Amino acid sequence: MIRILSTPEMLRAETIADERGISFLRLMENAGAACARAVREGYPLSGECSYVCVVCGKGKNGGDGFVIARKLSENGYTVSVVLACGIPEAPDAQEMFKKSKPCIKECVRYDTDSERAVELIRKADIIIDAVFGTGFRGVPDAGTGELFDKMNSAPGRVVAVDIPSGLSGDSVNVSGKCVNAALTVTMTAMKMCHTGYPARSFCGRVAVVDIGISPEILNEVGSKRFMLTSDSVRRMLPERREKSHKGTYGKLLVVAGSYTMPGAAVMAVNGALRSGCGLVQLAFPDAAYAAIAPALTEAVLMPLPSNASGRLSRSAKYRLLNELQSAGALLIGCGIGADDDTRELVYSLVCAAECPVIVDADGINALAANINIINDIKAPLILTPHPLEAQRLSGVSVSDIESDRAGFAAGFTVEHPCTLVLKGSSTVIADGVAKKIYINPTGNSGLARGGAGDLLSGIIGSLAAQGAHSFEAAAAGVYIHGLAGDAAAQRCTAYASCISECTAEISGAFKKVISSKE
């Protein structure tokens, strides 16, 4: 699992390291050396890749750039430096500038000789962006924005140091012009701008490098945000034992589907069946029997009375409450529709449940009409809204939610104890009890279609029924769902990776996770 640090947290970690004997100057040397190593590994020295232009700011990010220039020169690259903002001002950066001078072929100030500076940038095979670091706020001035345009339009590959200049390390938003990197080499931990769009689209591939700050210091800093990895998800999966039977792996009760939306039930159940659950039982309105029954041969079907709209009738409540007593988890909401009957069923079941409860789609819309009921639920609760459903739950606008997805999710789960899966690109998984946030790197635009959420809920419900902690079931389910979507898009493009294609890739996603080790 990859830690995500805010700018204040990173500064605190560096300060503690300095107090314990690793000076800020040493950290800068370590950072530059690690970045240079990442550049050499990504773009090995060759006849077609030998000339580097390092564009340095006047602060500590520029200091890292001077170390990179020296290290790459020592390893055979021809290196020039462009001073984006004049002579460095930070004392450590000044020291590194002095050390690098003998190694630099040419050093040009952009503010006094922009024409020559642009020539150096344009002929470089690799352009190192070391202008602004994580502390940058606001919008670059016109001159700096023009410099970024020149870097972005140059033929060489751009490598950003820590973050692409012009972004804020603590936000996924983009306020003005910024560098568009092919590779971002970031120190110690990921930053928020690496984790979500639109900022993430400017970062290219993100590589995290060690600069000598110990895990103990990072734990002391206390960041609770992490990027999921295959290895971390592998450790979240419920154990599979040789000596076992279907009861070992739990029963998932799925309450889903309606006459007009039978596919939602089918997709949720298929997600559950492919994720290891011992028994999947689907409760659905009998009006949808003809559409659902032929599509599901491995689930236990429980057709129940329908109302006049082809949705579950409230008269099904007592049968459902009885089945709930033997369930390892409850999934409710996928395609059930919205009326008085379905709202009553949602309220009754989630309040009665003692097993983990996953609420999706129309189940979320039912709870949104009586949000305080969440605080009275006894069982572990997982909500899986997309931003519009999150708006209905919270009253916060979609634009405000999207501007700080992690912050919104964390705040919601503190106010309403639950695990929240805020769906979308870079899905956020937050938990009010664990007080942690996981951000998911998998998935693509091929999953932006009806039914993807149903499939996801089935995977999460299956893992929860097998005994996974609700927060980990949600996180693992999101990661595997996205990984399956990535495989489907790779095989048949994001245009054509319909939900059946993603479902077929779930087994491969599990295989990849199970075989992974960081």
Please indicate, yes or no, whether residues 393 and 427 belong to a single structural domain of this protein: yes
Of residues 323, 317, 368, 376, the one with CA closest to residue 342: 317
Tokens of 458: 């089935």
Q: Hunting for tokens 């295959």 — which residue is that?
A: 230
CATH number of the domain to which 110 belongs: 3.40.50.10260
Please indicate, yes or no, whether residues 218 and 269 belong to a single structural domain of this protein: no
pLDDT band at 376 (very low <50, low <70, confident <90, very high): confident
* pLDDT at residue 354, rounded to an integer: 96
Please indicate, yes or no, whether residues 181 and 33 belong to a single structural domain of this protein: yes
- Rounded CA gap, 465 and 380, in Å? 12
Q: Hunting for tokens 């572990």 — which residue is that?
A: 380
- Rounded CA gap, 213 and 293, in Å? 57
Say how many domains are in the chain: 2
CB 345 within 8 A of CB 337: no
pLDDT over 80 (residue 518): no
What pLDDT digit, counting tens, does each position of 200-221 carry?
999 999 999 999 999 999 999 9
Q: Is 78 strand, coil or helix?
A: strand
* pLDDT at residue 375, rounded to an integer: 87
Please indicate, yes or no, whether residues 357 and 398 belong to a single structural domain of this protein: yes
What pLDDT digit, counting tens, does each position of 314-324 carry?
999 999 999 99
> Which alpha helices (DSSP H) does 307-374 contain, by range?
317-324, 340-352, 362-368
CB 477 within 8 A of CB 458: no
pLDDT band at 48 (very low <50, low <70, confident <90, very high): confident
Please indicate, yes or no, whether residues 445 and 312 belong to a single structural domain of this protein: yes
What pLDDT digit, counting tens, does each position of 387-424 carry?
999 999 999 999 999 999 999 999 999 999 999 999 99
Any idea what the Cα angle at residue 208 is, between residues 420 and 477, rounded to 5°? Answer: 30
Please indicate, yes or no, whether residues 158 and 257 belong to a single structural domain of this protein: no
* pLDDT at residue 135, rounded to an integer: 85
Any idea what the Cα angle at residue 358 is, between residues 346 and 437, rounded to 5°? Answer: 135
- Rounded CA gap, 157 and 180, in Å? 10
pLDDT over 70 (residue 132): yes
Q: SS3 string of 114-151?
A: HHHHHHHHHHCCEEEEECCCCCCCCCCCHHHHHHHHHH
Please indicate, yes or no, whether residues 263 and 117 belong to a single structural domain of this protein: no
Please indicate, yes or no, whether residues 426 and 465 belong to a single structural domain of this protein: yes
Range of the domain at 83: 2-222
Tokens of 298: 């491995």
Provide the terminal-to-terminal Cα distance of the chain, rounded to the nearest Å.
9
> Mean of the per-residue pLDDT values for the chain?
96
Please indicate, yes or no, whether residues 382 and 251 belong to a single structural domain of this protein: yes
- In order of 125, 238, 470, 507, the CA distances from 483 in angstroms are 33, 18, 20, 10
**Looking at 187, 222, 257, which one is the last position of a domain?**
222
**Looking at 222, 254, 286, which one is the last position of a domain?**
222
CATH number of the domain to which 276 belongs: 3.40.1190.20
What pLDDT digit, counting tens, does each position of 219-245 carry?
999 889 999 999 999 999 999 999 999
What pLDDT digit, counting tens, does each position of 49-71 carry?
999 999 999 999 999 999 999 99
Please indicate, yes or no, whether residues 255 and 209 belong to a single structural domain of this protein: no
* pLDDT at residue 34, rounded to an integer: 98
DSSP label at residue 21: T
Neighbours of 225 (CB within 10 A): 22
| Percent residues over pLDDT 70 in the chain | 100
Please indicate, yes or no, whether residues 330 and 446 belong to a single structural domain of this protein: yes
The model carries a pTM of: 0.94
Please indicate, yes or no, whether residues 150 and 260 belong to a single structural domain of this protein: no
What pLDDT digit, counting tens, does each position of 276-296 carry?
999 999 999 999 999 999 999
